[in-house]
Structure 1
Amino acid sequence: MKRLLLFGLLWLIAVTTRGRQISGLPPIVNHTKLQHTGGGQTWDVDTDHRGILYFANNEGLLTFNGNTWTLLPVPNHTRLRSVRVDKNGRIYVGAQDDFGYYQADADGVLRYTSLKPLIRSGRKEFADVWNTVLYNGSVYFRSSNNIFCYRDTMVTVYPAPGEWRHLSKTSRGLFAQDARQGLMQLKNGSWQPICKEITAQHMQVCGVLEHENDTLLIGTLKHGFYKLYGGRLIPWKIAADSLFRNIQMSCIKAWEDDQLLIGTSYGGCYILQRSTGHILQRFSVEEGLQHNGVLRIFTDPARNIWLTLDNGIDMVRYNTAIKQLLANNKNYLTTYAARVFNNQLFIGTSDGLFAAPLGAMNNFRPVNQTKGQVWHLSAAGGHLLMGHHEGAFEIKDNTAVPLLRNTGCWLFRPLSRFILAGCYNGLRLIPSDSAVLRSARNVRGLFESLRFLTPENDSVIWASHPYRGVYRIRLERDTILHYTLFTQQHGLPSGYNNSVFRIHDKMIVATQAGAYEFDPLHERFIPSPWLTPVFRNIPLQYMTEDSKGNIWFVSDKMPGVLDFRKNSIVFFPELKGKIVNGFECIYPYNDEHIFIGAEKGMYHINYRNYLQSKEKPVVLISRVIAQADTDSLLFGGYRASSEAAFKAMPNAYAGFHFEYATPIAGQENTLEYSFRLMGFDNTWSDWSSRTEKDYTNLPYGDYTFSVKAKDNLGNISFPASYTFRILPAWYQTIFARIVYGLILLGLAWYAYLFQRKKFTTQQRKYQQQQEQLILQHQLEKEQREKQLISLQNEKLTSEVQFKNKELATSTMYLLQRSKLLFTIKEEILMAIKKIEPSPLHAFKKVLRMFEEAENNEEDWEQFSRHFDEVHNNFLSSLKKQYPDLSTTDLKLCAYLRINLTTKEIAQSLGISVRGVETSRYRLRKKLSIPGEIGLYDFLIGIADVEKN
């Protein structure tokens, strides 16, 4: 069942891609974890105005300046889920349980600021911030339970009615999906439902885009596309609808004028034509992606497509004039030949011949009877010839018709009556004097493998062998040949790796030391008089010319063209190392169709667009480090180097390290750099692909480091500069020189002043001794005074403790007396009650005397007077501050001040222990004491305030 489903999906892809006009696969650049040192999953990406890219990664914020990756973890070391850069260069990020922004300081170093402290209490608990959106001067951060709006140093919180599941913007507004309310729009500061049908159908929105006629186009995870108009949800039925339902859309993005980029969870990225719904192109693991799970799609200003994946980061260089053609969608097939015939493109591969319409070069079909190694394709007299491992063939009606078997055929060269074929074991002639080609004839006399042939005329043929040399072959009676072998002895730089080609009607030998021609007068080879000034002595492996006379060549595994219109050489470093070494093939059909054989597929160059597509590069200084025992980062690269804070470095920093890059993603190998250090070397350096420069042992002074970039078309950037200063050492300063002069003058007077200086020194020494004695005396005096003060303090403390003991004793005495009087009174009362008749009236006077003794105010007056003497008028001060205090309150304060227990206080006041607690509580209220302050501490504090 799974196989049937897979077959059906593949068939659907084939059907929906029939109408596409995109030809070729753009190069895909893989950025792995080993390169950027971040985590596997990357969730979001954005760029600033200078072209630096910022990625929200599991390990933190990843930055890429076109050459160097940098990882910046967030302070709480959680995963980043979203990132957006505003027009001022502030980088807003959403993490787990945090969100905030990075901003470059004066030294170009990114610093993080969390916005979480701005959230009001009660809303600070949240999980991942999945979306960050810049809209209408505000920044919106979406978590599952809240949407946070940051504007003017304030954060507004929008709680989710159910659960926030999506947040995105269009020019028509800001939209969010809620689990209960469906699709909502922010209007007048509040979220208003605009389509609850999304919730009813259990949809998960993955993107909201503008569509025609006030319609929104909505992409969903598992339900395909819908149009939203007037609150109604209308399915958008396209041929690939079931495909996207199965592989699950994860994100969508508008692209070009009438296209959509669609990221999926299991199928990679698709380009969809919006007007027709047809799939135009697909990027998946089969086309070179690292993973089919696309989390976010981003397009940079250079029209590159960035894909953040479940495992890795990939860039599709969509805006490139160089694209890859894959026969049968297999990127492992090596390609050796190409030819346009009857408006069909034929490419020869290691697995046979394939053909496709020239206008739709993605729909290749195999040619029948061509399985195996195809070496060469040639059009001669209305015939398409194929050199194959099994022989020579003519291609008719999508089928190979054999012309030669039992030996492999390398190539074909047309003569007037024959077609010359270079084979594994010599030459063959194919008669071409009729409309129908006949079988090939053998040519006796040379049985070497001849892979390079070029005719001088019908009877003189030049051939080369990679290990023998160059052959000059003369044909006789069309079946016998005579030859002469030319080697290093005849002027060639070497007997190895020579290849013959016909260029501008001349026989040219491509060698490892440049282009050579044959001098018939001296019967030897000489450097080509007209090509050597251009190519000089660069190694050449392959040469051919186009219809306009431009010479296409391969040098050191890199293709290039000598363009006579520009009068210069244009290299294609994008393809360096990708062509088939030893079996190079360049087929320049016209300016818009240049075909180059490669180890994986075939590359197609639109040379006209290639010359027009490149803008002037921009170079950035990405890092400046001052080197000493401990290195110091002077500049971090996240702002313009001309705006960096000026640094004056100590003389110990005599070494400086500069790093620079051009944020043209994917074109790193097409750039070269030149630099200079004004103040040290005022001339520009030679162009080099290096992206860093070190200087050591720089003398003190002012310096300006400048660097500029140049692409392979000769476009040169404006230079970027960084200015700094190295301070002189202390012995190199003007002050030091003045000191040197003073020392010389001092030496002249030294003899005269020696005795006087000696006397002054002795006098100063005596004075210092006296000062030391005086100082020692003062120290001793101060020490004695401190000891005296300490003794006085100890004495006062002892006196206070003694008086406190007396007060406590007196208080206990009064307590005991009160208790005794109370006991006597109780005993008398009990005795009276036992007498019949009761003589209570006779003892009233006595009982009254007991009560007066218990409530004797004179005891309290005496106690309070002694208490104030000991405690600096504590009770008087307390009464003055709190005049509402009663006598009982003052007694309670005094007893607490001398630290009586609750039981003792109860006995003294004649109340119960619970009564004491109640009195303490009432006293706290009268004194207005806060709950966190103890009553005893408060009373001590009153005493301390009074002392002061």
Structure 2
Amino acid sequence: MRYIPLCKQITALYFLFLVFLPLSAEGAEFAPVVTNFTKKEYKAANQNWAVAQDAHGFLYFGNNNGLLRYDGAAWELFPVPGNRVVRSVLPAADGRIYVGSFEEFGYFQPLSTGELRYHSLSQQLRNYKMQNDEIWTIISCRGKIYFQSFASFFVFDGKQITGHRMSGTFLFFNQYRNNIYSHVDGSSLCRYDPAKNKFHPVIEGECPKSSITAVLPYDATKTLLVTTHDGLFILEGSKCKRFESQANEFLIKANANRAIITSDSVFVIGTILDGVVAVNKAGKILWKLNSTNFLQNNTILGMYCDRANNVWLALDKGIAFVRTGSRVKYVTSFQPSIGAIYGLDKYGSDIYIGTNQGLYAGKIGSLREDDKNVNVSLVSRIKGQVWDLKRFGNQLFCCNNEETYCLTGNSISIASPVRGGVCIKQGVINGQEVLVQGTYTQLCIYRKDARGQWVFSNVVDNFINPIRYLEIDYQGTIWAAHFHEGLYRIVLDRDLRHIREMKTYTSLSGKTHTSINVFKVANRVVFTNGERFYTFNDLTKEIIPFRALNAGLRNFASSYRIEPFRDNTYWFIRDDMAALVQVENEKVRILDVVNYSSFPNENVDKNQSIVPFSDSQCVICLENGLAFYNLNEHRSKSGIPFKLCLKSVTAYRADNSAVQSVALSEPDALPFAFNSIQFTIAYPNYSKIENVRFRYKLDGWDKKWTDPKNSVVQEYVRLPYGKYCFRAEVVASTGEVIDRLAYDLEILPPFYLSVWAKIFYFLLLVIAIRAIYLLIKTEQKKKRDKIEQKHIELRRQEKEKSEQQIMKLEKEKLETEVMLKSKELAGSTMSIIKKNDILVRIKEELTLQKEHLGSQYPKKYYDKIVHIIDENLSSEDDWAVFQSNFDRIHENFFRNLHTRYPELTSNDLRLCAYLRLNLSSKDIANLMNISLKGVEAGRYRLRKKLNISAEKNLTEFMIELK
């Protein structure tokens, strides 16, 4: 790159002057930060008529749909009978919330459970008939509650309610120095005399022509009067004169409707036509709010200054929360838009604002109460992205997308030949005081000339990288953060041109490559990757976690930008909020937190800048807007306590079939069926809505605290019976525990674990023990009896065994005898067979001999011998003996056979016996004295009678027959 010599550069620029565009950007009047609530958020009607705060800090609004309650987290609507419009609200010292409506007034009484129950007072009126009476104001004076309509009013002494109808009409009742004042038609401002039930005029001489809507204290002897159309007046004694104020002309046109005085003695006046205006005691307008800047609607129907000195507005459309008690006092937006603000410089009364559209310049005072706006104009020569504005002495360096400019007095010049300036820092390198600038491409070095002015010197050779942030440590080392990725540690030679040493860091955690930013805290270079902070260890030459800083910052350890404020005090900036932190000797203390979500303007993503104006004031740069922070602001009258309170406790069945509310103090023990519990808490410090979290612990159930969270509801399902202590803490963004509460409760045992159940169980236990004793005794007896029985059984078994042994022996003996008998029977049968065979052969031989001898052998002798033979062949007597013996041996064979087959004949039975003895047909023929054919015929007949198939062996059948 070719560089232009410094002398030629100065000659070419030759003290150019600022040239402004014809179009100027005018800032709106500085005003407090405003938070708007719409009907979608509070879930009621658009129109709101009144606002007030009770002793707990809860806010109440009179709404077209009823009474609205807000605790900082949740909105609740309480209808009035008939769903009437609530025009007026008064939280009284007795805890009641008095409300007024059309022909209806009364109060909501808080129950022990925290719920509100309505009680009508208008229904208790005696001897008075309401006629279109609408309650516009409720005040408490001298121990009585006054409900005011335009032509009548009602007094409640705590027991009785009385109505008073007056002859004339009056505007709003004002309680002032323990008296009631009101504008009465025809008499101007009057004081009410309760003893005479009359209004007495208090102004002598000329009175304001229009109605007096508010009476406010000015000092010990003077009173401020707010009129509807004539502006402001001062009442001293009985004399009234106009209060010279910048607001008079505005109020005359805007129609004043309501007015209050804040705790820091600022008069805030709401109008019908043009929003709200704040005036100090000198009569100067501090700020104005209307639909052109922050309000949803211009008609102010109700106003209230809360305990933290914030102002609440009940609007014809919606609700507005004006943060007058905040350290962030003023916010302004420019018309037309000047774009996203990246940097700002204030030098005397001159102000310079660097934006993404260019450099704007203008005038500004010291941000006192009378500094109400900022008018700036675009410097025509410096357009496009301005990254940074840094002042060194009388020189202002403007790091611009195109060039780096130097503004000195009324002159402007190009400070460097390198295009695209981003950041610039001052430091000492190699004993030389220098400025080092990061650009889109190179590092530039600036030195002082003979006049003590900073001028471009040179670039650092062989370094071409876009640098977003840089710092110079006490050793003269340059730490340069790449625009998108990584960090460079650069050590220069003495000529400041050449790099002697350079190291690149792509990650701080040793994991993935990431964007790294570098800043300086307590003269120590620190690095951040948006997760936590790191620092450089000079001994080990390593980047290490900055443990003390990370621990002290808590949630703000994820900050990605640091801006110095004053000695040892820095702004640590995250996407959503910024913390003011004091760092001294590695002791870290978070002093305050600013939440970006409270601003109507968006922040500049990843490039939020906070610029100190003085030791106590900073300006916060936003998208087309500025917010001013005053550290010395006596914030919200910090002596006022804000208590964390228990709003409701609800017990329910686990199946949600039934729900019951629980008393907030000294609650009764809960039945076990209602062992699921929901706790709802409230912390009505509206100034800290965005900067607090809540954590919970149920002693007896939880082992540790929950993580801080936004939810004000904590739920426990199916708790065991026992005693518990619910604890809650409100934790600031700084990590400080602001307040805490504890609530004791007990869940009774289930019916089966109650006292009566335990008595019943005890009786059952006694009975059971007795029964067990008797059972054991019985069992022991049974066991003894069983043992004895076992012994008897053993003896019986031994006896049976002996008897069985005897029987076995006898059976064996019998079987042996049977076998012998069978053998004898078989032998006997065979003897008979042989005998018969012999006799038959003898008979046959005798017959042969007779035939051969003929008459030689006398017939009488032959017949005699044959007769003897026939008599000795098997006879019926032999068969009877045989049958009897056969039955004994073969287990009543004949009897069983005859019983089963009664059609069997005697011969059939005889044949069956012979077959069972397995005799041959020949033997059977001999025994039965028949031929073999007769035996076969007998077999056939027998098979038929016994119904035996041909396949079955008849002999086997007889042997198997039982």
Confirm whether residue 464 of structure 1 aligns to residue 474 of structure 2: no
Confirm whether residue 66 of structure 1 aligns to residue 72 of structure 2: yes
Confirm whether residue 567 of structure 1 aligns to residue 580 of structure 2: no
Is residue 263–residue 309 contact of structure 2 (8 Å, CA) maintained in 1? Answer: no
Is residue 443–residue 480 contact of structure 1 (8 Å, CA) maintained in 2? Answer: yes
Structure 2 CA distance for partners of 1:489 and 1:278, relative to 1, 3 Å: closer
Query: Partner letter of residue 648 of structure 2?
Result: R
Is residue 367–residue 400 contact of structure 1 (8 Å, CA) maintained in 2? Answer: no
| Aligned counterpart for 2:215 among listed residues 208, 217, 228 | 208
> Equivalent residue for 1:409?
421
> Equivalent residue for 2:680?
659
Confirm whether residue 621 of structure 1 aligns to residue 646 of structure 2: yes
> Equivalent residue for 1:250?
257
Q: CA deviation at 1:160?
A: 3.6
Q: CA deviation at 1:743?
A: 4.2
Q: Give the TM-score taking structure 1 as reference length.
A: 0.69
> Equivalent residue for 1:107?
113
Q: Quick one: distance in 1 between partners of 2:366 and 2:623?
A: 22
Query: Partner letter of residue 386 of structure 2?
Result: V
Is residue 673–residue 707 contact of structure 1 (8 Å, CA) maintained in 2? Answer: yes
SS at match of 1:451: strand
Is residue 247–residue 279 contact of structure 2 (8 Å, CA) maintained in 1? Answer: no
Query: Partner letter of residue 482 of structure 2?
Result: H
Confirm whether residue 511 of structure 1 aligns to residue 536 of structure 2: no
Structure 2 CA distance for partners of 1:133 and 1:375, relative to 1, 3 Å: same
> Equivalent residue for 2:328?
322
Q: Quick one: distance in 1 between partners of 2:237 and 2:156?
A: 30
Is residue 516–residue 528 contact of structure 1 (8 Å, CA) maintained in 2? Answer: yes
SS at match of 2:106: strand
| Aligned counterpart for 1:40 among listed residues 41, 46, 64 | 46
| Aligned counterpart for 2:279 among listed residues 237, 256, 272 | 272
Q: CA deviation at 1:561?
A: 4.1
Q: CA deviation at 1:445?
A: 3.4
| Unmatched runs of 5 consecutive residues or more in structure 2 | 1-24, 775-962
Confirm whether residue 499 of structure 1 aligns to residue 499 of structure 2: no
Q: Quick one: distance in 2 between partners of 1:541 and 1:684?
A: 29
> Equivalent residue for 2:807?
none
Structure 2 CA distance for partners of 1:273 and 1:617, relative to 1, 3 Å: closer
Query: Partner letter of residue 630 of structure 1?
Result: S
Deviations 1:868-908, CA, capped at 9 Å, x for gaps: xxxxxxxxxxxxxxxxxxxxxxxxxxxxxxxxxxxxxxxxx
Structure 2 CA distance for partners of 1:453 and 1:708, relative to 1, 3 Å: closer
Q: CA deviation at 1:606?
A: 3.2
| Aligned counterpart for 2:366 among listed residues 358, 362, 368 | 358
Query: Partner letter of residue 67 of structure 1?
Result: A
Structure 2 CA distance for partners of 1:219 and 1:503, relative to 1, 3 Å: closer
Q: CA deviation at 1:394?
A: 2.8
Q: Quick one: distance in 2 between partners of 1:451 and 1:751?
A: 87
Q: CA deviation at 1:548?
A: 2.5
| Aligned counterpart for 1:736 among listed residues 752, 757, 761 | 757
> Equivalent residue for 1:605?
629
Confirm whether residue 448 of structure 1 aligns to residue 454 of structure 2: no
> Equivalent residue for 2:944?
none
Q: Counterparts of 1:727-876 in structure 2 under 5 Å?
A: 727-743=748-764
Please say which of residues 531-540 and 694-703 is displaced more in the overlay. 531-540
Query: Partner letter of residue 489 of structure 2?
Result: R
Is residue 325–residue 636 contact of structure 2 (8 Å, CA) maintained in 1? Answer: no
Q: Quick one: distance in 2 between partners of 1:464 and 1:191?
A: 79
Is residue 253–residue 260 contact of structure 1 (8 Å, CA) maintained in 2? Answer: yes
Please say which of residues 184-193 and 520-529 is displaced more in the overlay. 520-529
Confirm whether residue 185 of structure 1 aligns to residue 181 of structure 2: no
Q: Quick one: distance in 2 between partners of 1:403 and 1:516?
A: 34
Confirm whether residue 724 of structure 1 aligns to residue 745 of structure 2: yes
| Unmatched runs of 5 consecutive residues or more in structure 1 | 1-9, 18-23, 754-948
Query: Partner letter of residue 374 of structure 2?
Result: F
Q: CA deviation at 1:177?
A: 2.6
Structure 2 CA distance for partners of 1:429 and 1:178, relative to 1, 3 Å: same
Structure 2 CA distance for partners of 1:150 and 1:443, relative to 1, 3 Å: same
| Aligned counterpart for 2:558 among listed residues 516, 536, 539 | 539
Deviations 1:86-127, CA, capped at 9 Å, x for gaps: 211111111122011111123222111111123234522224
Deviations 1:514-570, CA, capped at 9 Å, x for gaps: 223345776653334664554589434113445423443224543224424593341
Structure 2 CA distance for partners of 1:658 and 1:725, relative to 1, 3 Å: same
Is residue 184–residue 190 contact of structure 2 (8 Å, CA) maintained in 1? Answer: yes
Query: Partner letter of residue 374 of structure 1?
Result: V
Q: Quick one: distance in 1 between partners of 2:199 and 2:637?
A: 45
Structure 2 CA distance for partners of 1:280 and 1:681, relative to 1, 3 Å: same
Query: Partner letter of residue 358 of structure 1?
Result: S
Is residue 173–residue 186 contact of structure 1 (8 Å, CA) maintained in 2? Answer: yes
Q: Quick one: distance in 2 between partners of 1:285 and 1:432?
A: 52
Q: CA deviation at 1:336?
A: 1.8
> Equivalent residue for 2:396?
384
Q: Quick one: distance in 2 between partners of 1:392 and 1:522?
A: 38
> Equivalent residue for 1:583?
607
Please say which of residues 655-664 and 218-227 is displaced more in the overlay. 218-227
Q: Quick one: distance in 1 between partners of 2:770 and 2:231?
A: 100
Query: Partner letter of residue 407 of structure 2?
Result: I
Q: Quick one: distance in 1 between partners of 2:356 and 2:507?
A: 37
Q: Give the TM-score taking structure 2 as reference length.
A: 0.68
SS at match of 1:117: helix
Confirm whether residue 649 of structure 1 aligns to residue 670 of structure 2: yes
Is residue 490–residue 523 contact of structure 1 (8 Å, CA) maintained in 2? Answer: no
SS at match of 2:41: helix
> Equivalent residue for 1:593?
617
Q: Which has the higher contact order (CA 8 A, sep 6+)?
A: 2
Deviations 1:224-267, CA, capped at 9 Å, x for gaps: 22345666654334333222111221211223465311112232
Q: Identity, % of aligned pairs? A: 24
Q: Quick one: distance in 2 between partners of 1:646 and 1:75?
A: 30
Structure 2 CA distance for partners of 1:495 and 1:149, relative to 1, 3 Å: same
Q: Quick one: distance in 2 between partners of 1:536 and 1:492?
A: 22
SS at match of 2:687: coil
Q: Quick one: distance in 1 between partners of 2:391 and 2:331?
A: 21
Confirm whether residue 129 of structure 1 aligns to residue 135 of structure 2: yes
Q: CA deviation at 1:571?
A: 6.9
Structure 2 CA distance for partners of 1:430 and 1:297, relative to 1, 3 Å: same
Q: Quick one: distance in 2 between partners of 1:567 and 1:407?
A: 41
Confirm whether residue 706 of structure 1 aligns to residue 713 of structure 2: no
Q: Quick one: distance in 2 between partners of 1:83 and 1:532?
A: 49
SS at match of 2:672: coil
Query: Partner letter of residue 353 of structure 1?
Result: Y
Structure 2 CA distance for partners of 1:582 and 1:115, relative to 1, 3 Å: same
Structure 2 CA distance for partners of 1:221 and 1:517, relative to 1, 3 Å: same
Q: CA deviation at 1:201?
A: 7.6
Query: Partner letter of residue 514 of structure 1?
Result: R
SS at match of 1:580: coil
Please say which of residues 319-328 and 140-149 is displaced more in the overlay. 319-328
Query: Partner letter of residue 676 of structure 2?
Result: G
SS at match of 2:686: coil
Q: Quick one: distance in 2 between partners of 1:204 and 1:251?
A: 12
| Aligned counterpart for 2:573 among listed residues 554, 557, 561 | 554
Q: Quick one: distance in 1 between partners of 2:466 and 2:115?
A: 63
Structure 2 CA distance for partners of 1:301 and 1:162, relative to 1, 3 Å: same
Aligned length: 728
> Equivalent residue for 2:930?
none
Structure 2 CA distance for partners of 1:332 and 1:81, relative to 1, 3 Å: farther
Query: Partner letter of residue 605 of structure 2?
Result: N
SS at match of 1:648: coil
